[in-house]
Amino acid sequence: MKTRREEDMEIVWQTPANPPERHDYIFRNGVRYVRPYYFEFICHVKNRWAGKTIVDLFSDEFKGRPYDYYVSAVKSGRIQVDGEMVPVSYIVQPSQKISHFLHRHEPPVKAMEVSVLQKELDVLTVCKPASVPVHPCGQYRKNTVVGILQAEHGLASLFRIHPMFCSMFLLVVQKHILILFIDWIAWYLGSLSWRQVLLRLTFLGSRLWLFQIEAGMVEKQYVAKVIGVFPEDEQVVNANVNYNAREGRSTTEVESVENGSTALKGKAACTKFTRISTNGTHSIILCEPITGRTHQIRVHLQYMGHPIANDMLYLSEVTDRSTKGMCADRAAAKSAQSLPSNPDKDCSAGSEENSKEDFSIDPMCTNCPNLAPKGYDGHEEGLWLHCVRYTGPDWTYECSYPDWALLD
């Protein structure tokens, strides 16, 4: 039975067709939150789900909420089968459509501007901040680059074209506009879902871009902050990179006298490094990957004994790890005091005055009254590895250096 509070609520259910709007965001202490909203999640019954009750299906497959919640959701009609309310004992069948209507809370991201760097007739260059996923995936929908561009720049219908640039830059198309995202690499970027990566293109000019990418005609430059005094002369690392998908990390392999006859498992990889500056404790270096392997720059720097200073995945025992036991995001959070005290400078959506605005509390929501999902603290910082330039045969796009690249 519905409570009076629930009966009095005016619920507006949103679908993917509802674009994000500027007023959907709340800013607090340099963090961008999304005002909670009602959303319909849709899936179809898989063969292995068939024969289960609707409640057992959800409690077994979606463990983020307690069993009692799913019982209440079915009874109240927030979980439906083929658009109809069903009893909690209902047995699901293959291919049936299941709708879950719920009060959605998105994880927060850093409230830094998704800035437009350069506008041309056919190309728009955009800088992507760390911690912001590119497109709707997982718990993210509005707190994405695509969502923010829709809300704050009026750019809609943006889709990624080429998956190999998920941690570098992305080509997207809106009618006849190509947009190039230069990416601030986020620590957990690799863990986000990148399944929606293909787009059938009707814009003829984009074929040239794809040809340049796949033909290796695009040169990339990154800047990184590493441990120790990096060598002054240019360094070239040729070491195979072997990525372990289960562990989510790569290792380097090189031929030696001992294993010279043993075939290396990793893929050939080459990176050029040039020192920009050093203060005796850290160095800022320019990284130019010749090949594009998973975590190539990070693992090659580790191989040289100069890992990225806040990259806990690849910090080796030879370094002084004062932040041992912390992930890179937590280590990077130590530098948060260097961020501007006025969050307005980091955010294109205005001031934090709206941080005091109330938002609706849903009586059945397992996350209310919090803005963010339970268990999320919002203190993530980007890895100290930043894309600064991409160059093709007849084009160049670049963005400014981050604050951490300016050594004291």
Residue (of 397, 343, 394) closest to 168 by Cα position? 397
CATH level 3 topology of 219-338+381-405:
Pseudouridine synthase (3.30.2350)
Report residue 28 CA to chain centroid gap.
Answer: 20
Inter-residue contact 216 to 279 (CB < 8 Å)? no
- Tens of pLDDT, residue by residue over 312-364, are 899 864 444 433 433 443 433 333 333 333 333 343 444 444 444 557 788 89
Six-digit token pair at 120?
A: 């041309």
- The Cα 255–Cα 356 span in angstroms is 60
- Give whole-number Cα distances, 32 to 49, 109, 374, in Å: 37, 5, 16
Side chain identity at 288, as an amino acid letter?
E
Domain ranges of the chain: 4-104, 109-214, 219-338+381-405
Q: Write the CATH number of the domain with boundaries 4-104.
A: 3.10.290.10
Give the pair of three-digit tokens for residue 94. Answer: 């293959």
Q: How far is CA 24 from CA 27, 88, 113, 157, 368, in A?
A: 10, 34, 16, 18, 17
- Run of H or E including 147: helix 145-153
User: Beta strands 270-278 and 249-253: pairing type?
Assistant: unpaired
> Is the Cβ–Cβ distance between 171 and 178 less than 8 Å?
yes
The burial class, CB within 10 Å (0-12 / 13-18 / 19+), for 296 is buried
Q: What is the pTM of this model?
A: 0.70
Residue 152, number of CB atoms within 10 A of its CB: 19
pLDDT at 111: 86
The string of pLDDT tens digits covering residues 135-157 is 787 888 899 888 898 899 887 66
Kindly give, in sequence order, each residue whose CB lies less than 8 Å from that of residue 388, ignoring residues fewer than 6 positions away. Answer: 182, 221, 222, 223, 398, 399, 400, 401
Query: CB–CB of 73/2 below 8 Å?
Result: no
Per the CB < 8 A criterion, the answer to whether 124 and 180 are in contact is yes
**b/e per residue 234-259 (b: at least 16 CB within 10 A):** ebebebbbbbeeeeebbbbbeeeeee
pLDDT of residue 13: 67
Query: Regarding predicted confidence, which is higher, 250 or 259?
Result: 250
Which residue has better confidence, 87 or 382? 87
Flag whether pLDDT at 104 surpasses 60: yes
Max Cα distance, the chain (Å): 78
Return d(Cα 98, Cα 93) in angstroms, integer: 10
Rg (CA), the chain: 24
Q: How far apart are CA 60 and CA 41, in angstroms?
A: 17
β partners of residue 181: 126, 170
Helix spans in 233-341 (H): 296-304, 328-333
Work out the number of other CB atoms within 10 angstroms of the CB of residue 148: 26
Q: Which helix (H) or strand (E) holds 118?
A: strand 116-119
Look at the alpha carbons of 220, 221, 227, 230 in this order and tell me if their dihedral is positive or negative: positive
What is the model's pLDDT at position 390?
82
Could you give the CA distance from residue 32 to residue 34 in angstroms, rounded to a whole number? Answer: 7
Q: What is d(CA 147, CA 136) in angstroms, rounded to the nearest whole number?
A: 8
Percent of the chain clearing pLDDT 90 (strictly above): 37
| Rounded mean pLDDT, 283-293 | 94
Mean pLDDT of the chain: 75
